[in-house]
Amino acid sequence: MGHAGAIVMGEAGTAKSKIEAFKAAGVKVAEKPSDIAKLLEKQF
């Protein structure tokens, strides 16, 4: 998530909270790196 994505304050900014926010916004999130190709394949 880069430098700016590394900021954590309490529960805000954790990987879990970011993943939940992406999913709530309708963004597909890979559970593991090997799933990325499968997600991309479904998009195009």
pLDDT of residue 15: 83
State pLDDT tens for residues 5-39. 566 667 777 888 889 999 999 999 999 999 999 98
The whole-angstrom separation of Cα 12 and Cα 14 is 6
Per-state percent for the chain, helix, strand, coil, to nearest 5: 55, 5, 40
pTM of the complete model: 0.61
